[in-house]
Amino acid sequence: MRLILLGPPGAGKGTQAQRLVHKHGIVQLSTGEMLRAAVAAGTPVGLKAKDIMASGALVPDEVVVGIIADRIEEPDAKKGFILDGFPRTVPQAEALDELLKKKHLKLDAVVELRVNESALLERVETRVAQMRERGEEVRIDDTPEVLSKRLASYRAQTEPLVHYYSEKRKLITIDGMMTIEQVTVAINRVLSALEAADSAAKAAKKTARKTAKPAAKTAAKTPAKGAKKAVKAKKTVKKAKKAAKKAVKAPARKAKKAAKPAGKAAKGGKKTAVKAKSRTSASKAAKTRKVAKKATKKRAKAVKRLTKRR
Ligand code: ADP
């Protein structure tokens, strides 16, 4: 499963991400955590990000996109991941789309945790107090002044992603004002429905493919059969034509013979042969008639001559 958690600072992204990690066995990729680690380690990225983070502004897109591109390549991200704090701008979201497309990976959902801004300061103050209690180092950007700057960055640069992912039909909005438990239940319910819909779609695709295969096979065979038949038919027609030609030229008996091997399709040839036959007898009759006429004429002349003599 590949998810994005979207929401302002203090919305509860980190808490819910942890729960999703346990439930789905996927990794949480938090750019904030990675940048803080880079700052602590004093890497070139850390040196670049340190002051920007302390001010509550956003680190340049190319820096975080580079970090994420490398991180999702790692083996533990193969099964899936939850992006927490990334993308934070539209160009980052576009870069992520490109990255996933190149890797033929699909983003399952973007979970937006919607909260009242008035509740955020209180939440962050509680978080700071709890961290101090546990003896943990408090983030330098978790002060009321920096928090208002972080909120301003969120509104201006990150909130447009709500529209971006809603257009892509990836957005799931959860009321982040509920208790932690209730938020978890709401996220799980939506994700389960999504998974069920996905497997139903996959099953439908499989069935469609199974049904389409034999149909395609038949379709592929039919034209081949048709082509064979067409060739055969063409040959028969050729034979028939030849036979017909022969029939016109040759005497009737021969024509009949020639028409025979052409089979059924040679019917035309046969017919021609019959016609040829009748044509032959007709011409014979005509000849006979001509001879008879000549004879009649001769006889008439002879009778004339005889009567004249008389
Ligand atoms: P928050 O709890 O306010 O959401 P994070 O721990 O996610 O804060 O990030 C802390 C700081 O790290 C941000 O204020 C910002 O300076 C920097 N940062 C984290 N993720 C990004 C990002 N995707 N793009 C730019 N800057 C980031």
pLDDT at 254: 35
Give the distance between the most distant pair of CA atoms in the chain: 167
> What structural domains and CATH numbers belong to the chain?
2-177 (3.40.50.300)
Is residue 229 predicted with pLDDT exceeding 60?
A: no
- The pair phi, psi for residue 55, each rounded to 5°, is -85, -15
With cut-offs at 50, 70 and 90, classify the pLDDT of residue 223: low
Over residues 266-294, mean pLDDT: 50
Q: Name which residue leads in pLDDT, 301 or 240.
A: 301
pLDDT at 305: 52
Q: DSSP letter string over 57-106?
A: -PPPHHHHHHHHHHHTTSGGGTT-EEEES---SHHHHHHHHHHHHHTT--
pLDDT tens for 71-117 read: 999 999 999 999 999 999 999 999 999 999 999 999 999 999 999 98
Q: Is the pLDDT of residue 215 over 80?
A: no
Nearest CA to ligand 1 atom 23: 86
Q: Ligand 1, atom 14: nearest CA belongs to which residue?
A: 56
The CB density around residue 269, as the number of other CB atoms within 10 Å, is 27
Q: Tell me: the pLDDT tens digits for 28-60?
A: 999 999 999 999 999 999 999 999 999 999 999
Active site residues: 13, 88, 127, 139, 150
pLDDT confidence of residue 127: 87
Give the per-residue pLDDT at 148: 92
pLDDT score of 211: 79
Give residue 304's pLDDT band: very low, low, confident or very high (50, 70, 90): low
Q: What is the pLDDT of residues 176-213, one digit of tens each?
A: 999 999 999 999 999 999 989 988 988 888 888 887 76
Flag the least confident range among 70-84, 115-129, 155-169: 115-129
Taking the C-alpha atoms of residue 281 and residue 278, their distance in angstroms, rounded to an integer, is 5
Pairing mode of beta strands 2-6, 109-114: parallel
pLDDT at 217 over 80: no
Token digits for 8? 């302002």
pTM for the whole structure: 0.68
Q: Given ligand 1 and candidates 96, 142, 150, which is best to mutate, with the most ligand atoms within 8 Å of its CB?
A: 150
On whether the CB atoms of residues 137 and 76 are closer than 8 A, the answer is no
Give the residue among 41, 32, 97 at the shortest CA–CA distance from 64: 32
- The larger pLDDT score, comparing residue 196 to residue 237, is at 196
Calculate the average pLDDT of the chain.
80
* Per-residue pLDDT, 198: 86
Please name the residue whose Cα sits nearest to atom 16 of ligand 1.
53
Write the single-letter amino acid at 118.
S
- For residue 57, give the ligand 1 atom closest to its CA: 16
How does 229-240 read in b/e, with b if 16+ C-beta sit within 10 Å? eeeeeeeeeebb
Least confident residue range of 119-123, 195-199, 229-233 = 229-233
* Cα 58 from Cα 103, distance rounded (Å): 27
Query: For residue 299, is pLDDT > 60?
Result: no
Name the residue of 33, 137, 141 to mutate for ligand 1: max ligand atoms within 8 A of Cβ: 141
SS3 for 197?
Answer: helix
Tell me if 86 CB under 6 Å of ligand 1.
yes
Proportion of the chain in helix, strand, coil states, percent, rounded to 5 = 75, 10, 20
Among 62-71, 107-116, 139-148, which stretch is predicted with the lowest mean pLDDT?
Answer: 139-148
Q: Where are the alpha helices (DSSP H) in 103-179?
A: 117-133, 144-153, 160-167
Confidence class for position 293, pLDDT limits 50, 70, 90? low
Residues 6+ apart with CB under 8 A from 22: none
